[in-house]
Amino acid sequence: MLLRVTRDRLARRKIRALMAVVSVLVGAMITASLVNISIDVSEKMTKELRAYGANIVVEPKTQTQAIEIGGVNYAPLAERRYLDSDQLSSIKTIFWRNNIVGVAPFLYGVVEINGQSAVLAGTWFERRLDIPASSVTLPNGTVLKESAGTFTAGVRSIAPWWKIQGEWLNDSGTDTDSGAAGEVIVGEKLAQVLKVKVSDEVRVGFEGVDEAFKVKGVVSTSGFEDQQIFVTLGEAQRILKVSNAVDKVLVSALVKPDDELARKPLEKMTADEQVIWYCSPYIGSITYQIKEVLNNTTARAIRQISENEGKILNQTQMMFFLIAAAALLASAIGVASTMMATVFERRLEIALMKAIGAEDGQISRQFFLEALLIGTVGGGVGYALGNFLAQLIGRSVFGTEIGINFLTLPVTLAISMAVALLGCLIPVRRASSIEPAIVLKGG
């Protein structure tokens, strides 16, 4: 009965009802579009930010301070500790294995190139790895099993901005095959110093052994790598006479910005918090898991990159939140204005209802029910238009399609009804304060 009466009243005041619905609709549309964009774009932005380099470096645990300049360890080879290149595929066996999108090992040594000292860097360029079947034990004792698979690792996945003149070295063979024997890639600045170009020959000497190599390409990185000469990891191990040795590994991982839990020391977490932390893609939990599978190593975040990524994502989400909050506030004000006008128009009706015994609660329920109907209609239509708006913003601003997330429908409806009820509070108080005697006398 109350629902039918409320519906009839809204039908008699179509313009007022439409204005209130439009007020809610605008807020719901903006909220739905921004929530969809925030969910979809945040994930895509995280993947795009991975194009700006690795965010984790893995190195052997050592007692001594490394002599490192420009990312290169200059300690004598005999005094260095190394990672085992045969164990690197285990990085893809951690709990967050699917968030590891790039892995590139590096082995460095100082050699003579055409009579001049330069840094030789051995790495993978595009190497297919066989990932073994594995199991992960969570802090609460739960064991998760994962089947075997393959993964393409190499510097081309963690540094896609490197520009090559010529060709990349081919190291797509087996893990034990050095690949691209007798071929090198020369950094742009080093090539200028040596006055060499693609297809030229350079001579690489180390500890009395001198070999000829063909320049397969010249690489421009806009970093210290422009002064280095690159070979495949297997070739570097052969030239430098160290088996299965790696100085460091750069890892590119998809992570979420640190929050209060991520910044809490692990030893101060409860058992439940440790499970949540371990099962969340924080930069800290991923480095912890890498250290679990690689013995005697240190894995640390490259803070400048990871913190900037988190800052960008947090600022983007905060901007979306503030815009949505402003839109919803405007919607609430619009509903309040419309409902106040409705109360003024219906003051005689309200006074008459009170005069024949209606209580304030009964009158309030009528207005609240009207607000719920307005919020439901405005929220539903706003959700549909919000999806359309999200697609327009996604294509024009972010250059990508925005996926429709149906989980935002109940959220949008709930927010729309809450906004309509909030906007109805002041008009309801005004209706409750009407004095029947004064109004019916024409006062």
Q: Of the ranges 165-179, 285-299, 354-368, which one carries the lowest mean pLDDT score?
A: 165-179
DSSP, res 292: H
State the average pLDDT over residues 258-286: 90
Ordered DSSP codes for 220-246 = E-SSGGGGEEEEEHHHHHHHHT-TTEE
Give the whole-angstrom CA distance, residue 89 versus residue 98.
13
State the average pLDDT over residues 2-12: 53
pLDDT of residue 359: 75
DSSP, res 143: E
Give the whole-angstrom CA distance, residue 249 versus residue 313.
26
Taking only the tens place, the pLDDT of each residue in 91-117 is: 999 999 988 989 999 999 999 998 889
Question: Does the pLDDT at position 46 exceed 80?
Answer: no
Q: Of the ranges 97-106, 234-243, 421-430, which one carries the lowest mean pLDDT score?
A: 421-430
State the average pLDDT over residues 138-153: 83
Give the whole-angstrom CA distance, residue 317 versus residue 143.
35
pLDDT of residue 373: 85
Is the sign of the CA dihedral 213, 229, 300, 257 positive or negative? negative
Q: 387, 378, 386: which is closest to 419 by C-alpha?
A: 378
pLDDT of residue 74: 55
pLDDT of residue 66: 55
Question: Does the pLDDT at position 195 exceed 80?
Answer: yes
Question: One-letter amino acid identity for 241?
Answer: K
Q: What is the CA radius of gyration of the chain?
A: 33
Enter the tokens of residue 63. Answer: 């007692």
Task: Please report where in the chains the tokens 């439409």 appear, as a residue.
Answer: 18
pLDDT of residue 3: 52
Question: Does the pLDDT at position 377 exceed 70?
Answer: yes
Residue 442 burial (CB count, 10 A): 6
Residue 154 vs residues 127, 168, 248, 354, 369: alpha-carbon distances, Å: 6, 11, 13, 79, 62
More confident residue, 13 or 274: 274
State the average pLDDT over residues 347-375: 77
Task: Please report where in the chains the tokens 């007022």 appear, as a residue.
Answer: 16
More confident residue, 357 or 300: 300
State the average pLDDT over residues 160-176: 78
Task: Please report where in the chains the tokens 């495949």 appear, as a residue.
Answer: 232
pLDDT of residue 177: 47
Is the sign of the CA dihedral 36, 37, 40, 42 positive or negative? negative
Which residues, listed in sequence order, are joined to residue 166 by a DSSP beta bridge? 217
Enter the tokens of residue 390. Answer: 């999200």
* Contact (Cβ atoms closer than 8 angstroms) between residue 95 and residue 138: yes
Kindly report the length of the chain. 443
Q: What is the pTM of this model?
A: 0.64
pLDDT of residue 175: 45
Give the whole-angstrom CA distance, residue 427 versus residue 294.
66
Split at pLDDT 50, 70, 90, the class of 204 is: very high
Residue 45 burial (CB count, 10 A): 16
pLDDT of residue 187: 94
Question: Does the pLDDT at position 85 exceed 80?
Answer: yes
Please, is 330 exposed, middle or buried when counting C-beta atoms within 10 Å of its C-beta (0-12, 13-18, 19+)? middle
Question: One-letter amino acid identity for 437?
Answer: A
CA–chain centroid gap for 402, Å, is 15
* Contact (Cβ atoms closer than 8 angstroms) between residue 266 and residue 63: no
